[in-house]
Structure 1
Amino acid sequence: MRNHFITDNFLLYNEFAEELYHTYAAMQPIIDYHCHLPPEQIARNHIFENITQAWINGDHYKWRAMRTAGMNEKYITGDTSDFEKFRAWAETLPQTLRNPLYHWTHLELKRYFDIDLLLNKESAQEIYQDASTKLGSSAYSCQNLIQRLNVEVVCTTEDPTDTLEHHRKMAKSRYGVHVSTSFRPDKALLISHEGYQRYLQELEKASDIEITSFKTLCDALSKRIDFFHENGCRLSDHGLSYVPFVEASSSEIKSIFAKKRKGESLTPLDTEKYQTALLLFLGEQYHAKGWVQQFHLGALRNTNSRMLNKLGPDTGWDSIGDYPQAYTLSRFLDALDTKDKLTKTILYNLNPSDNEVLAAMIGNFNDGSVKGKMQFGSGWWFLDQKDGITKQLNALSNMGLLSCFIGMLTDSRSFLSYPRHEYFRRILCNLLGEEMEKGELPDDMELIGNLVKNICYGNAKEYFNFQHDS
């Protein structure tokens, strides 16, 4: 059966929305300022053998749906053939109606492969062969998959110990997309994690600094920040349940770090004191470099211990957490702001009940120094779907200025996920178009159209100011 629902006016429900999308949004380049694409595959311009390798392997969104539909794990992360895994996804997809996966899947098939068949058990063989044949050609290499969707900037995410060899290779190439990175020091914060001591050894090697104290830890991280900056990095990123804030003296932090290095156990309060001190240090470093700092807040990770032990992390066993966010976050931001060392900041929430909390929080620290200095980030992970995107846009509009918003990002590991920007843009244009039709916004296409252009592209370009020759 043909796909007749992904039309030119998909998700656009009146003429205002249609004109906003087609005239102002559709042609805007994409600045994907946060994703998890493998830089090694970009640098060597990897070509996938088939669509399973490009589209299903590593995609825990699809894996969760397949498990829910009753698919055996062997068709998900097991050792069955790539076609069998694809067929299992094809059999699952009709059961995902009203889940964003149904929209994303058909958008991706249409935009990348010009396939307008509905994916199901009957069409699986034809679609697998068609898409896999195309993917096997140089026209569908990783670099070309990115360029196919008019992407201008890709910003991946790396640990402080990373060599950035692939980014350095890309910087010297003639590739037309600017490939940058963000600095993600989560492992340095996890002092209570069983792998912490081992991680410090890796950081020592990367920084060529012996880490014997909290100060030398900071020295090592500072040196890696310098290295990342020299190689074009202009962002940091932190994935946290919540931002801790428990102040402590320098002697307390010194003692806590020493206890850990001796192999002694730490209390939860010790951990939060250490994390607070390190986050404040890092925040000041980011400000000194003129970086943007990002905080992804609210994930409840690795909830299924049986499957975590079997498959490892990032395999589909994470969820929305219900952590308190407002008080400690406000104190952390205020501690940096008091010293005038609060850099541009993006806050993302995973729990939709925190929408208004973060939308209001950014207004506390927008000081007029930079347009949209504090950002309430777009719907993330479980929230990057129609309802979640709409609620984020509404909360931001009600509490702040939608006109200063830097828009969508993929936060994806897949080279085929860039239609999510189209999805976001259609939802944005329809939201505004419906309000124009109701008379809640002016019937001024140029005014609203420029708002759309800036949210889709212009604001992010100004905010990040990525330099291709950095």
Structure 2
Amino acid sequence: MQTPIFINDNFILETKTAQKLYHDYVSHLPIIDYHNHLNSKDIASDKIYSSISECWLYGDHYKWRAMRANAIPEKYITGNASDELRFMKWAETVPYTMCNPLYHWTHLELKRYFGIDELLTSDNGKKIFNEINDKISSKDFSVQKLIQKMNIEVICTTDEPTDSLEFHEQLIGNSFCKILPTFRPDKFLNIVNDEYLISIKTLEEVSNIVINDFKSLVDALENRIDFFDNMGGRLSDHGLEQLYNLEFTESEIELIFKRRLSNKLINLEDSQKFQMALLFALGRKYAEKNWTMQLHLGAQRDNNKRLVDLIGNDVGCDSIGDFRQAEGLSYFLNRLDYENILPKTVLYNLNPSDNEVFATMAGNFNDSSIAGKVQWGSAWWFLDQKDGMEKQINTLSNMGLVSKFVGMLTDSRSFMSFPRHEYFRRILCNILGSQIEKGQLPNDIEWVGNMASDISYNNAKKYFNF
């Protein structure tokens, strides 16, 4: 008896109504991936990968964590093992990821990119490795072809303020996808960073502005925002532990900054005040440009010193933090709103205990300028799995207007991650279809189907001015 195909047409779609919503209204829509960490150089050069391991396993912290949990030696994860051995160790791990989102993602990606319906195991790993490698090393599976295969309309990368954006410039006017930069100035907010003065020097060089006080720092960053805007940028992004409810004066911030320029130590409270002062200045500029400000809050990073010492930062030992969020977030958004300089804003929480906090906080600051001006963003990082997405969608439904939600993003460094949009869309349609069949929503397929289409694509296109 033949084993049924796992990733079939109705994967996750538990009702006939869910199936109709997905297949008739959502499945064909293009993808707007408005936040990710993809490499613009790889897109511009139309990189061809040497193996599936390079494309799929290098830099994927989700897979690294699973392999470590499965007692795979580090040499097969981030070490110098051959690409074939890396893949075989991942194939060995995959069956043990059952009930983890990696099991779904792995088989969705194998199916959508390479047409493989088999469940990956150590038994068929070598065969699948060879089958994929015969494809991925050809021009038909270059980076740009991988993007086209998934019907991607917009990709917003994440870029340093000092980036030349030379590869974005090369991609202007291309015919396969709109590639836009996102302004990520975190290194300038973290005044106690060991390399802060080096970053300031680089900013001086690219902006052609001498930075000798707080105003000139803001001027230099605004210069770069203008540059990003001219290159098509429409979003900023900030990955912070939390925001702070701290009052400060201009003279106080000036003194803090000049102390840092003199390479003097800055205490914790002063560093927090500086972060907030610079965020307020940047928020004002984002509003002026009609940009969207993204705030990713709550990650506790680089917890494992042994791994950090062995490999470096961002190697898969980050986790959910238990920082207090409501007070600082309210203070920040309220001050911008009161001064009429609050830009469009998307809030992301990493701690699921903050779901209701973020959902209700977003609702405090909407106005008549645009529907859903302050958004509670899609389930992020450790939460972007089926349970996390369902909780986010249901909480937003209860406490806001899910119909105005701008939907999914990958937040990924891999060009193989775009099926996560399909995953989200199936989960969304399954929720809506189930509620219709239970009599909790009217059986108005056209209205609900159009709402699913809006959440999956149309809302983001309008909200971000794409």
Question: Does the pair score TM above 0.5?
Answer: yes
1:189: which partner in 2?
A: 189
What is the 5 A alignment of 1:321-400?
321-400=321-400
What is the 5 A alignment of 1:169-184?
169-172=170-173, 174-184=174-184
2:78: which partner in 1?
A: 77
Alpha-carbon contact 2:6-2:117 (below 8 Å) kept: no
Do the aligned partners of residues 3 and 225 (structure 1) sit closer, same or farther apart at CA in structure 2, a change above 3 Å counting? farther
What is the 5 A alignment of 1:39-118?
39-118=40-119
Match of 1:157, SS state, is coil
Whole-angstrom CA distance in 1 between matches of 2:245 and 2:414: 35
* AA matched with 1:424: F
* AA matched with 2:107: H
Match of 2:158, SS state, is strand
Provide, for residues 253-276 of structure 1, a one-character-per-residue CA deviation record: whole Å limited to 9, x for no partner. Answer: 110011111121111110011111
Match of 1:456, SS state, is helix
1:33: which partner in 2?
A: 34
> What is the root-mean-square deviation of aligned Cα atoms in Å?
0.9
Alpha-carbon contact 2:38-2:415 (below 8 Å) kept: yes
1:156: which partner in 2?
A: 157
Once the two structures are TM-superposed, the CA of residue 2 in structure 1 deviates from its matched residue by: 5.8
Alpha-carbon contact 1:302-1:308 (below 8 Å) kept: yes
Do the aligned partners of residues 86 and 2 (structure 1) sit closer, same or farther apart at CA in structure 2, a change above 3 Å counting? farther
Once the two structures are TM-superposed, the CA of residue 247 in structure 1 deviates from its matched residue by: 2.0
Provide, for residues 82-128 of structure 1, a one-character-per-residue CA deviation record: whole Å limited to 9, x for no partner. Answer: 00000000000111010000000000000000011110101111111
Unaligned 5+ residue runs, structure 1?
none
Provide, for residues 292-334 of structure 1, a one-character-per-residue CA deviation record: whole Å limited to 9, x for no partner. Answer: 0000010000111121121111110100001110111011001
Once the two structures are TM-superposed, the CA of residue 137 in structure 1 deviates from its matched residue by: 1.1
Once the two structures are TM-superposed, the CA of residue 215 in structure 1 deviates from its matched residue by: 1.2
Whole-angstrom CA distance in 2 between matches of 1:402 and 1:195: 42
Once the two structures are TM-superposed, the CA of residue 132 in structure 1 deviates from its matched residue by: 1.2
Whole-angstrom CA distance in 2 between matches of 1:93 and 1:243: 38
Provide, for residues 372-423 of structure 1, a one-character-per-residue CA deviation record: whole Å limited to 9, x for no partner. Answer: 1111100111000000000000110010001000000000000011110000
1:13: which partner in 2?
A: 14
Q: Which moved more, 1:162-171 or 1:208-217?
A: 208-217
Whole-angstrom CA distance in 2 between matches of 1:185 and 1:245: 21
Alpha-carbon contact 1:247-1:277 (below 8 Å) kept: no
Q: Which moved more, 1:194-203 or 1:318-327?
A: 194-203
Once the two structures are TM-superposed, the CA of residue 41 in structure 1 deviates from its matched residue by: 0.2
Alpha-carbon contact 2:144-2:176 (below 8 Å) kept: no
Task: Confirm whether residue 243 of structure 1 aligns to residue 261 of structure 2.
Answer: no
What is the 5 A alignment of 1:166-315?
166-172=167-173, 174-315=174-315
Once the two structures are TM-superposed, the CA of residue 63 in structure 1 deviates from its matched residue by: 0.2
**TM-score with structure 2 setting the length:** 0.99
Alpha-carbon contact 1:2-1:116 (below 8 Å) kept: no
* AA matched with 1:156: T
Whole-angstrom CA distance in 2 between matches of 1:196 and 1:422: 40
1:408: which partner in 2?
A: 408
Whole-angstrom CA distance in 2 between matches of 1:175 and 1:323: 44
Whole-angstrom CA distance in 2 between matches of 1:156 and 1:3: 38
Whole-angstrom CA distance in 2 between matches of 1:222 and 1:145: 35
After TM superposition, what 4+ stretches of structure 1 lie above 3 angstroms from structure 2?
Answer: none
* AA matched with 2:427: I
Provide, for residues 342-361 of structure 1, a one-character-per-residue CA deviation record: whole Å limited to 9, x for no partner. Answer: 01000001000111101001
Once the two structures are TM-superposed, the CA of residue 175 in structure 1 deviates from its matched residue by: 2.8
Whole-angstrom CA distance in 1 between matches of 2:384 and 2:276: 29
Match of 2:72, SS state, is coil
Whole-angstrom CA distance in 2 between matches of 1:246 and 1:137: 55
Do the aligned partners of residues 34 and 11 (structure 1) sit closer, same or farther apart at CA in structure 2, a change above 3 Å counting? same
Whole-angstrom CA distance in 2 between matches of 1:12 and 1:154: 27
Alpha-carbon contact 1:245-1:272 (below 8 Å) kept: no
1:134: which partner in 2?
A: 135
**TM-score with structure 1 setting the length:** 0.98
* AA matched with 2:333: L
Whole-angstrom CA distance in 2 between matches of 1:200 and 1:79: 35
Whole-angstrom CA distance in 2 between matches of 1:418 and 1:411: 10
* AA matched with 1:408: M
Once the two structures are TM-superposed, the CA of residue 244 in structure 1 deviates from its matched residue by: 2.4
Once the two structures are TM-superposed, the CA of residue 58 in structure 1 deviates from its matched residue by: 0.4
Whole-angstrom CA distance in 2 between matches of 1:368 and 1:29: 28
Whole-angstrom CA distance in 1 between matches of 2:158 and 2:175: 19
Match of 1:448, SS state, is helix
Alpha-carbon contact 1:300-1:318 (below 8 Å) kept: yes
* AA matched with 1:162: D
* AA matched with 1:19: K
Unaligned 5+ residue runs, structure 2?
none
2:418: which partner in 1?
A: 418
Match of 1:117, SS state, is coil
Whole-angstrom CA distance in 2 between matches of 1:324 and 1:122: 47
Whole-angstrom CA distance in 1 between matches of 2:188 and 2:450: 42
Whole-angstrom CA distance in 1 between matches of 2:180 and 2:275: 27
* AA matched with 2:372: G
Whole-angstrom CA distance in 2 between matches of 1:304 and 1:195: 21
1:122: which partner in 2?
A: 123
Once the two structures are TM-superposed, the CA of residue 3 in structure 1 deviates from its matched residue by: 6.5
Whole-angstrom CA distance in 2 between matches of 1:228 and 1:447: 38
Once the two structures are TM-superposed, the CA of residue 176 in structure 1 deviates from its matched residue by: 2.2
Task: Confirm whether residue 429 of structure 1 aligns to residue 439 of structure 2.
Answer: no
